[in-house]
Structure 1
Amino acid sequence: MADESFRIAELMLEGDTCGHILAKLALEAVGRDNPDLVRAMSGLAVGMGRGFNCGCLTGGCCVLGFYGGRADESEPVYPRFDVMIEEFSGWFERAMTEKYGGIDCKDVIGFDTALKAERCPGVILDSWLKIKEILEKNRVNPGGPAPARWEDD
């Protein structure tokens, strides 16, 4: 966990936002690089630029999609994908509402750069750890190939 905390801090210092960081952590876990995916996460920053849903919520769902979603008709969706998204979203809503009063970026940091520096690293780390926990619980190796493969139950 210390390595992950350090990596998150490092990426924040480089100017990455929460969505960028979650995508990079997932890509690094599987030993891949995908600048297009990371770039696409820019649209989630600062609650889609308006303080809406925190980028850790939307970015976390995208990361779960990276592992369990599909790219085209040749790939089926991972059978537990919906359950994983529901669990992550529910956890995020409960945790952030309890801590910050809501799930929106404006609730978590309120457009305050000092609060961003104070709170975002922890929210990102907690989100990443929860994503990994959900993946493992649903028999997806966070360090394994994406999209996830499964064997019949």
Structure 2
Amino acid sequence: MDTDDLGQINQYLTFKLDDEVFALGIAKVREVLDFSDVTKVPQTPVFMRGVINLRGNVVPVVDMRIKFSMSETEATVNTCIIITEVEMDGEPSILGALVDSVQEVLEIGPDQIEPPPRIGTNLDTAFIQGMGKHNEEFIIILDIDKVFSADEITLIQAVD
């Protein structure tokens, strides 16, 4: 059976950073947690907010706003940590992504996704899987495995 079925609808978890809407493929999302205390770890990158205890496991938490050159995430009633599985050096790793708010799970078909823009954005587009469109609004679909550089991954792995 051909897995490259063009009629395939993909599900994405959408979330907000500032006024921008981003999305992660639902297959990469383990769970969504309310923001709780994060234990700061000394001498980690500025985007690394710290670690949380998730059922006995140490999980690094990354502030996605700082990672994308925005101001630090302010803790509000809507602030969430998306627990996601990231491929690091061929090994799956669990990572918490701190975001302003989680929106909803959307189904976006391949015909609703454009390739990443080549110009006119302040983001490095290597980790953008595509630009989804929903209700006339663009959604930046992330390839979470490419959001962090090899050096950053090494620093994150040193924490857990």
TM-score, with length taken from structure 2: 0.26
Q: Select the structure of larger CA radius of gyration.
A: 2
TM-score, with length taken from structure 1: 0.26
